[in-house]
Amino acid sequence: MVRIGIDVGGTFTDVVLVHAGTGAVHVAKVLNEPGRRHATVARGISLVMEQAGISASDVSFIGHGTTITTNAVIERKGARIALITNKGFRDVIEIGRFSRPADLIYRVQVDKPSPLVPRHLRFEADCRINAQGQVLKDLDQADIDRLIAEVRASEVSAVAICLLFSFLDPRHEQRLRDALRAALPHIRVLISSDVLPEFREFPRTSTTLFAAYVAPVLGTYIDHLMEALKASEVDDRLFIFQSNGGVGRPDLVMRNPATTLLSGPAGAVVGAASLARTTGHTHLITMDMGGTSLDVCLLKDGKAEATTAREIDYFPIVTPMLDVHTVGAGGGSIVTIDDVGRLKVGPESASSDPGPACYGLGGDHVTLTDVNLVLGYIDPNDFANGAVKLDIERARAVIERDIAGPLGTSLHQAAAGIFQVAASQMAEAIRFVSVQRGADPRDFKLCPLGGGGPIHAFAIAAELGMRQVLVPSNPGLFSAGGIAGADFTHDYSRSILKRLEATDAASLEKEFESLRHRAQTDFDSEGISTTARRFERSMDLRYVGQTTEINVRVSHDNGEGTPDVTAFINEFHRQHEAVYTYAVPGEPVELVNIRLRAIGETHTPQRATASTQSQAPRAESLRPVWFNGAMVPTRVIRRESLVPGNQLTGPTIVQELSSATVLPPGAHAQVDLHRNLLISLNPER
């Protein structure tokens, strides 16, 4: 049983192959081919299969995480789409909410970003279902024919259909979908009752539009990738990683491509949760630094917080996802001086095309990779296992020209200043997920991931007063490793607006059972055995009259049978007090949504352990590295040479395929049974 995890980043594609029984790992880091990501992925898979000496018949699972849909939205490079909604409601997406976004309240001269679909591509259906699910005006064939003609003339690639109260009765949406697919088979059609069968028109319309906007992009990519994988005969074992931290079959994911919009950062969090369970270090703050961004997440008791709502360009996306905070600070982040002479790192990135200046591929901007190279933190001849040879002279030249010269300082002082500014920006991202939510980062260990995380970790930990840093093996491939061990996970929901009473248990059981039936059908199509299926029920509850709700799950609820409504209500009161500092047990509680999470558990690859040894590691080389205002001769040790029980003191660079870990002077590190590095920055305390 061999599982493969893939993480397509902005610069590199990471591939991790794990033998589920032994825990043996093979890895590859492949530079992305611009415009041919599917070919890069296929090449990476072939490479690790060759390294491991396995055939296609040995591979049982390929989990694929990607930022393709995220980037399509952020860069506005999605498909040309149309919206069909009720007569008189085509401007819902334009009007949005009554309140103006908080950061735009006083910037009255700034306009909100334009919707994904312009007004002339929003079409109106002359039909209506009311708030009780009753048909006020039926959808007739003449109206369907008119809408088909309008969509055909619009020359769009996808259509989003979002009709009023379709979460109560989806028949009008389904009729339109079926008619459009029959008449225009080349156009992808998505309906809100499939994407988000919940109330609130603006979020439902927005989420369905996002799904339609990326559907042609993701669908085309998957088609090309499946074709490319045929050469390796593993195309039928491809599963797509989603924002909720689980995978699904491609055709199931394509029912709602919005589930992949924030999947990129989730792989590392899934891996970190597994790391927490294995090592016993259950309070972690992860910082996953790739080529274009930094993703931060807080894990308490080994679990990451989850959410169902995010915004992109002030437009809401409602889909279950791990609560990851992202900022534009990665290895390819471009460094500039603003109008008042301040250093600015990101959010613009050089990505892999043309890449940092030191790549020698045409990049002409200073990036964090150039800075780390000049400061000695990375080796120009051993970057990404030698896949890319770095030009240190080119890096020095652009820093001197763009930063050191204009600021009137030395090359190394300029580079060190950039490094510290970046550390401060990253520390602020960690404060967002910790301090601003009532958690003290000093009570957690910092877990740096990605190619750049272990390089910057010591400076960020010092900024936050954190004392320990936990660096797993292959940190630059950690997200791909997390995806390799992911479960099959699907989320189902439905709005049911009613006061919740103990007498509702029987009716709620029927509602949950309808969601469970859908989940069982999907698991059947994915080949998940009945013994591996697990279901978690939850409810969105609020006091009558409130406009926001809390998602409540009862720990002893096993996802089947009659739900314990009283237990749900009591848990709601408890959580309301924890969140808002008060509860009103005498007030009636209102049910808003029911939710079902279906989990198909997989055989999680075990992390290999080794016996401790007393043999001390030997430095392979010395190189000058910047510490405390000077270039200091620093020993370089290969990560592969370390064994459990080894201890290191700074200054030291621990070099490996996917990254480099920087130990500053005074730091102490120990290698644990799983070959993780546990670094103490203040061992005397």
Domain boundaries, the chain: 2-73+220-260, 74-217, 488-600, 621-680
Output the pLDDT for position 684. 45
Say if residues 506 and 557 touch (Cβ distance below 8 Å).
Answer: no
- Count of CB atoms within 10 A of residue 131's CB? 10
DSSP 140: P
Which residue in the block uniquely carries the two structure tokens 């808002």?
580
Q: DSSP 3-state assignment of 148?
A: helix
666: left (phi over 0), alpha (psi -120 to 50) or beta: left
Query: In the numeric block, which tokens belong to residue 258?
Result: 């919005």
Terminus-to-terminus CA distance in the chain, angstroms? 45
Output the pLDDT for position 10. 67
d(CA 599, CA 442): 34
- Count of CB atoms within 10 A of residue 173's CB? 27
Say if residues 198 and 494 touch (Cβ distance below 8 Å).
Answer: yes
d(CA 241, CA 260): 7
Q: Which is it for strands 621-627 and 81-86: parallel, antiparallel or unpaired? A: unpaired
d(CA 545, CA 292): 43
Which residue in the block uniquely carries the two structure tokens 């020359």?
155
CATH number of 2-73+220-260: 3.30.420.40
Q: Residue 354, preceding bond cis, omega within 30 degrees?
A: yes
Query: In the numeric block, which tokens belong to residue 593?
Result: 């949504």
Give Cβ neighbours of residue 454 (< 8 Å, ≥ 6 apart): 448, 471, 475, 654, 659, 660, 661, 662
Q: Residue 347, preceding bond cis, omega within 30 degrees?
A: yes
Query: In the numeric block, which tokens belong to residue 129?
Result: 């279902």
d(CA 278, CA 491): 27
Q: Residue 257, preceding bond cis, omega within 30 degrees?
A: no
Dmax of the chain from CA atoms? 82
Give Cβ neighbours of residue 203 (< 8 Å, ≥ 6 apart): 196, 309, 316, 318
Output the pLDDT for position 347. 81
d(CA 334, CA 330): 9
Give Cβ neighbours of residue 615 (< 8 Å, ≥ 6 apart): 643, 646
Output the pLDDT for position 683. 47
Q: Which is it for strands 445-449 and 284-289: parallel, antiparallel or unpaired? A: parallel
d(CA 275, CA 254): 31
655-673 residues labelled b (16+ CB within 10 A) or e (exposed): bbbbbbbbbbeebbbebbe
Say if residues 64 and 234 touch (Cβ distance below 8 Å).
Answer: no
Query: In the numeric block, which tokens belong to residue 261?
Result: 């919009």
Segments of the chain scoring below 50 in pLDDT? 683-685
Axis-axis angle for helices 37-52, 201-229 (nearest 10): 50
CATH number of 488-600: 3.30.1490
- Sheet holding 621-627: strands in order across? 621-627, 630-638, 652-655, 660-663
- Sheet holding 488-499: strands in order across? 25-31, 12-19, 2-8, 59-66, 238-241, 247-248, 488-499, 589-600, 533-543, 550-552
What is the signed CA dihedral for 575, 577, 580, 582, rounded to 10 degrees?
Answer: 150
Say if residues 559 and 535 touch (Cβ distance below 8 Å).
Answer: yes
**What string of DSSP letters covers 181-248?**
HHH-TTSEEEEHHHH--SS-HHHHHHHHHHHHHHHHHHHHHHHHHHHHHGGGT-GGGEEEE-TTS-EE
Please state the pTM of the whole predicted model.
0.86
What is the CATH class of 74-217? alpha beta
d(CA 528, CA 474): 30
β-pair partners for 635:
622, 652
Output the pLDDT for position 612. 53
d(CA 546, CA 101): 20
Would you mind telling me the total number of residues written for the chain in this entry? 685
Q: Residue 499 to residues 165, 495, 496: CA-CA distances in angstroms? A: 19, 13, 9
